[in-house]
Structure 1
Amino acid sequence: RSIPPDVQEKLLQFARAGLAVATMRGKSYLSMGGVSMGIAGSIVDHAFFESYLGMRVEVIDMTEFVRRIEREIYDKDEFARALAWTKKYCKEGRDYNPPHQQRSREQKDKDWEFVVKMAIIARDLMIGNPRLAELGYAEEALGHNAIAAGFQGQRQWTDHFPNGDFLEAILNSSFDWNGIREPFIMATENDCLNAVAMLFGHLLSNTAQVFADVRTYWSPEAVKRVTGYQLTGRAAGGMLHLINSGAASLDATGQQERDGRPVMKPFWEITPEEARKCLEATTWYPATTAYFRGGGFSSNFLTRGEMPMTMSRVNLIKGLGPVLQIAEGYAVDIPLEVHRILDERTDRTWPTHWFVPNLTGSGPFKDVYSVMYNWGANHAAVSYGHIGAELITLASMLRIPVAMHNVPEERIFRPSVWGAFGAMDPQGADYRACAALGPLYGRYA
Structure 2
Amino acid sequence: MATISLLTFSDGRDFVAADIDDFCRQKEGLLRQAFETAGHTVVAGAQPVTSNEIAVAEARRVAAAGPDLTVFHYPVWAFPHFTMLAATATTGPLLLASTIDPVQPGMVGLLAAGGALDQIGRQHTRITGDATDPAVRRRLQTTVTAAAAVSGLRGSTFGRIGGRPMGMYTAASSPEVWIDTFGVDVEEIDQWEIVRRAELVDESRVATARAWLEKHAAGVHYDGDKLTPETLGRQIRSYYAVRELIDEWHLDFAGIKGQPELTNHFATMDVTEAFLNDPYDWDGPKETFVCSTESDMDGALTMQIMKLLSGLPVLFADVRHYHGDLDVWDLANSGQHATWYAARSDDPLENLAKTHLYPEVFFFPAGGASVHHIAAAGEATFARLSRLDHRYRLQLTKGRFVDLGHETHERLARASTYEWPHAFSRFDAPAEAFLDRFGANHIHAIPGDWTEELRAVCRLLDVDVDDLESTR
- Contact 1:166–1:299 (Cα < 8 Å) also in 2: yes
Matched position secondary structure for 1:17: helix
In the alignment, which of 373, 388, 398 is matched to residue 461 of structure 2? 398
Equivalent residue, structure 2, for 1:300: 372
Gaps of 5+ in 1: 96-101, 129-142, 221-230, 232-237, 257-269, 359-364, 408-426, 428-445
CA deviation string 1:19-72 (max 9, x = no partner):
1111111111100101111111332420122011111100111111122123x1
- Whether 2:383 is the aligned partner of 1:254: answer no
Question: Which runs of at least 4 in structure 1 moved beyond 6 Å after TM superposition?
Answer: none
Say which of 142, 155, 158 aligns to 1:13.
142
Q: For 1:203-282, what aligned pairs fall within 5 Å after superposition? A: 203-220=308-325, 231=326, 238-256=327-345, 270=346, 274-282=347-355
- Mapped partners of 1:154, 1:164: distance in 2: 9
Deviations 1:219-252 (A, max 9, x none): 12xxxxxxxxxx5xxxxxx111111113211111
- The residue aligned with 1:104 is 225
Q: Which residue of 2 aligns with 1:50?
A: 179
Kept in 1, the 8 Å contact 2:399–2:426? The answer is yes
Question: Match for 1:118 among 238, 254, 267?
Answer: 238
Taking a change above 3 Å as real, the CA distance of residues 76 and 108 of structure 1, as seen in their structure-2 partners, is closer
1:81 aligns to 2:208 (yes or no): yes
Distance 1:66 1:404, change over 3 A: same
CA drift of 1:316 comes to 2.6
SS in 1 for 2:312: coil
How do 1:21-60 residues align onto structure 2 when only pairs under 5 Å count? 21-60=150-189
The one-character-per-residue Cα deviations of 1:143-185 (angstroms, maximum 9, x if unpaired) are 2221110010011211111100000001111110221222110
1:150–1:189 contact (8 Å) kept in structure 2: yes
Q: Is the 8 A contact 1:216 1:240 kept in 2?
A: yes
- Tell me the equivalent position of 1:284: 357
Match of 1:134 in 2: none
Query: Hey, what does 1:195 align to over in structure 2?
Result: 300
Q: Which residue of 1 aligns with 2:272?
A: 167
Where 1:245 maps in the other structure, the secondary structure is coil
RMSD: 2.0
Q: Which residue of 2 aligns with 1:415?
A: none
Q: Distance in 2 between matches of 1:373 and 1:182?
A: 37
Report deviation, 1:321: 1.8
After superposition, where does 1:354-365 map in structure 2 within 5 Å? 354-358=424-428, 365=429
2:435 to 368, 372, 391: 372
**AA in 1 matched with 2:165:** S
Task: Select the structure with the greater relative contact order (CA < 8 A; seq sep ≥ 6).
Answer: 1
Gaps of 5+ in 2: 1-29, 31-130
User: Quick check: 1:388–1:405 contact (8 Å CA) kept in 2?
Assistant: no
Q: Which residue of 1 aligns with 2:105?
A: none
Assess if the C-alpha contact under 8 Å between 1:188 and 1:246 holds in 2: no
Distance 1:149 1:213 in 2: 18
Shift of 1:304: 2.1
CA shift, 1:80, in A, is: 4.5
Match of 1:147 among 227, 235, 252: 252
Query: Residue by residue, what CA displacement relative to the aligned partner does 1:406-430 show, whole Å, maximum 9, x if unpaired?
Result: 49xxxxxxxxxxxxxxxxxxx9xxx
Partners in 2 of 1:87 and 1:241 — Cα distance?
28
How far apart are the structure 2 equivalents of 1:90 and 1:369? 38
- The residue that corresponds to 1:443 in the other structure is none
SS in 2 for 1:285: strand
SS in 2 for 1:303: coil
Aligned to 1:327: 397
Q: For residues 316 and 144 of structure 1, what CA distance do their matches in structure 2 show? A: 28
Residue in structure 2 matching 1:312, options 376, 383, 387? 383
